[in-house]
Amino acid sequence: MVMPIGPLMTEHRLIERMIVLMGKEVERIRKEKRVKFEFIEIAVDFIRTYADRLHHGKEEDILFRDLKAKRLEENHRKTMEELIEEHRWGRKKVKELVDANKKYKEGDENTIETITRCLQDLVNFYPQHIEKEDKHFFIPIMNCFSQSEQESMLEEELEFDRNFIHEIYKGKVNEIKILD
């Protein structure tokens, strides 16, 4: 049976690797009492682009969209709603991190604690979020779909991936046009 969740679970492994690096950065910041704002910018770009726009985008725009049309068991519907809310929470936390990092770059060292807390919150959040999806949601909800529906979702996810890089760089070119 084709499982359209395969790519989503593979993406989880890369997100987990980044979260480990973020955890090490939290330890380093606490020890050295300084922030490498470049690391924060890379981490934010990864979370916003890869984890949220690419990965969560496929979950919300494909998997969850199709699940909303199905008769789900109450616990699965509740879990899906929790996952969507967790995605929103992550976006807010990343925005808070971006704002604090910007102030730090401008010389406000009082933001070190906020940066550290935001990173730690994300480091604590993602493993639990991923475990919920991998072990308690993705596999059981696949029973809601026929094999052809799963194949269709998988093809849509692959098309999403193929178009993603073009969307990113089209946006970057448009940003440059705005700067003129």
- Where exactly are the structural domains of the chain? 6-179
Query: Looking at domain 6-179, which CATH architecture does it have?
Result: Up-down Bundle (1.20)
What DSSP letter does each residue of 93-111 carry, written as one string? HHHHHHHHHHHHHTT-GGG
Mean residue pLDDT across the chain: 92
8 has pLDDT over 90: no
- Among residues of the chain, what percentage have pLDDT more than 70? 96
Position 156 scores a pLDDT of: 94
Q: What angle do CA 88, 130, 13 make, to 5 degrees?
A: 120
Amino acid code (one letter) for 85: E
Q: What angle do CA 47, 53, 56 make, to 5 degrees?
A: 90
Q: Encode pLDDT of 31-57 as tens digits.
A: 999 999 999 999 999 999 999 999 999
Position 104 scores a pLDDT of: 97
Distance CA 67, CA 16 (A): 25
pTM (2 d.p.) = 0.88
